[in-house]
Amino acid sequence: MQSGEILTIADLPKARLSRWTAARKSTVNRAVMFGLISTDEAIGRYELTHDEFQEWLRSYADYGCNGLKVTHKKP
């Protein structure tokens, strides 16, 4: 999705995803932040825990889309 485009329900990721990318997480975050869907709708639709989704919101607020990337710690 390009900057300045209007987010719609059709832009949301499909329910029951097996793999979350930072871009998909960002789309769901923006949908909630802009009132397209509620937090409860996002949690239910994507089978997330409340804590998991709140962490997405915090990471996005602090670091943008880069904050939503999964990084693995090296042993």
User: pLDDT by residue (tens digit) across 21-75?
Assistant: 999 999 999 999 999 999 999 999 999 999 999 999 999 999 999 999 987 555 5
pLDDT at 16 over 80: yes
Which residue has better confidence, 36 or 16? 36
Torsion, CA 2, CA 61, CA 25, CA 22, rounded to 10: 80
pLDDT at 8 over 60: yes
**Type of residue found at 23:** A
pTM exceeding 0.95: no
Residue 73, number of CB atoms within 10 A of its CB: 4
The reported pLDDT for the residue numbered 1 is 57
- Please report the domains of the chain, with CATH numbers, ordered by start residue: 20-67 (1.10.10.10)
> Which residues, at least 6 apart from 28, have a Cβ–Cβ distance to it below 8 Å?
12, 13, 42, 46, 56
